[in-house]
Amino acid sequence: MAIDFNQRHVVVTGGTGALGAAVVGELLAGGATCHIPYYVEEEERNFPHRGHPRVKLSPANIASQSVVARIYDAVPKLWASIHLAGGFAAAPIAETDETALVDMLRTNLVTCFLCCSAAVRAIRRAGGGGRIVNVAARPGIEPRLGAGAAAYAASKAGVAALTQALAAEVVAENILVNAVAPSIMDTEQNRKAMPKANHALWPKVGEVAPVICRLASAENRITTGAVIPLYGRA
């Protein structure tokens, strides 16, 4: 049974990616209107929900505070904001320069922070509370697994810390803030990158998406400040 998002407006960053498409599908099935800023044009062209009457796509660089503000200012009565946008890069620390570190922080932490900030303002304007869901990662909460990708692990650890700090800040306003921390997910891109891995052990996007949507729904009345591990059998 679909989770009820009838007449609710939800922002989904990274919504045109593999996990994003699954999340948006769940939201649409529940009646949501989805506002999706996207950066990768090829993903937008191949997006399975493109053309749906309750999907609002807009090209945007969400590493820009002014762009993020414009996106959220245009959403009527925001209920939830789901932040899937991010990226991955791996290299030994001796081969990771300042530019690479800052790029990971901007891609994963700064975009999440800016969207959280704008979402809180928009939810306050709408009244009645709301939900925010971020995406950390397994190395973000188990940092030793970030060996060889320290910049990435640090950026996702920042997302986890941001989630918990913000949750405590806004809980009295009925704004519940949570995150999921998946291990490597079973996507076409990840299979190509790791063809010899046991893909059957990886969590599927169709398994992760319902967890995210339930955290973002009005059915979630008590969970806040959680960073939920979603590892499958990996």
Q: Where are the domains of the chain?
A: 9-230
Q: What is the mean pLDDT of residues 23-51?
A: 96
| Contact between residue 60 and residue 67 where contact means Cβ atoms under 8 Å apart | yes
Q: What is the mean pLDDT of residues 18-45?
A: 96
Q: Residues 9-230: name the CATH superfamily.
A: NAD(P)-binding Rossmann-like Domain (3.40.50.720)
Token pair of 150 as six digits: 């320290």
Q: What is the mean pLDDT of residues 44-70?
A: 97
Token pair 């059957």 in the structure block, residue: 200
For the chain, give the mean pLDDT.
96
- Does 234 have pLDDT greater than 80? no
Percent of the chain whose predicted confidence (pLDDT) is above 70: 100
Write out pLDDT tens, residues 53-64.
Answer: 999 999 999 999
Q: What is the amino acid identity at position 133?
A: V
Q: What is the mean pLDDT of residues 76-80?
A: 97
Q: What is the mean pLDDT of residues 139-154?
A: 98
CA distance 98 to 95: 10
Write out pLDDT tens, residues 88-105.
Answer: 999 999 999 999 999 999
| Contact between residue 163 and residue 178 where contact means Cβ atoms under 8 Å apart | yes
Residue 185, pLDDT score: 85
Predicted TM-score of the model (pTM): 0.96
Q: What is the DSSP string of the chain?
A: -----TT-EEEEETTTSHHHHHHHHHHHHTT-EEEEEE--HHHHHT-TTTT-TTEEEEE--TTSHHHHHHHHHTSSSEEEEEE---------GGG--HHHHHHHIIIIIIHHHHHHHHHHHHHHHH-S-EEEEEE--HHHHSGGGGTT-HHHHHHHHHHHHHHHHHHHHHGGGTEEEEEEEE-S-B-HHHHHH-TTS-GGGSPBHHHHHHHHHHHTSTT--S--S-EEEE-TT-
